[in-house]
Amino acid sequence: MHVQVLASVMNQSDHNILERMNIQTDAIIINQCDQTQFEELEYQNRRIRFLSFAERGVGLSRNNALLRSDGDILLFADDDVVYENGYEQKIVQAFQETPDADLMIFTFESLNSERPVPMVEKFHRIHWYNSLRYGAIQFAVRRDAILRAHVTFSLLFGGGARYSCGEDTLFLFDCLKKGLHIYASPIQIGTVSQEDSTWFTGFSEKYFMDRGALICNLFTGPMRYVYAAHFAFRRKSLFADSIKPFDAYRLICKGMHDYLSCR
């Protein structure tokens, strides 16, 4: 079983990121910068393709890597990820022990206490109602399953796109809609610094309106408003210092209405 890392990075002028991320498998590095350049090299007896593009958008970056991939199991990564030694063996073993898994969510430790990564307490199946917490760096997917299901990342959502976040949640939802089997595992495969974000600049008006646009893509009918209320009132501790829950709900609804009126 061949594991391959698909890393989305920006403005890298050399290949040092391979050492910083502790890459121990084949990898495709998509470097969004101001030039277009294709390189192939060997790093620790592994095949690395380092592809630079003069473009922006995390969904576009992940799709560029996905369409060029040839591994059996694909890992999505950002430039602040550091993999643990032996991550390949952990992932292969997990898939061998769960042969019906098309996608597995693994655990990362965040080095920034203010931006934790959702921890997986125990092994379990993922359904739509418990799929909204996870980021793409936690995903390991069977390439054949993703290609057969025609699942890619949204170009409308995520860092560098019109709506600033949500491409990873939409990806998971699309996988579930296509009938893919998704599991979450408590096995930790790395750390992530979470120091900077390409999209999060605080709980601004745009943040909540973008959340409304995302909700429109995830749910239909009254369920949109149910989830909007859940986010605004049940998760108010996230943004209590910035905005009142009712004002957050109002902005989320405004974002939903604006998104629907533009379709």
76-124 pLDDT per residue, tens: 999 999 999 999 999 999 999 999 999 999 999 998 877 788 889 999 9
Q: What is the pLDDT of residue 172?
A: 97
32 pLDDT more than 80: yes
Q: What is the pLDDT of residue 115?
A: 79
223 pLDDT more than 70: yes
Instruction: Yes or no: say if 106 and 186 are a contact pair by the CB < 8 Å rule.
Output: no
Domain boundaries, the chain: 3-192, 205-262
Q: What is the pLDDT of residue 200?
A: 66
Q: What is the pLDDT of residue 262?
A: 72
Residue with tokens 């429109």: 216
Confidence of residue 195 (pLDDT cuts 50, 70, 90): confident
Q: Which fold has domain 3-192?
A: Spore Coat Polysaccharide Biosynthesis Protein SpsA; Chain A (3.90.550)
198 pLDDT more than 70: no
pLDDT tens column, 35-73: 999 999 999 999 999 999 999 999 999 999 999 999 999
Confidence of residue 235 (pLDDT cuts 50, 70, 90): confident
Q: What is the pLDDT of residue 199?
A: 58
Rounded to two decimals, the pTM is 0.91
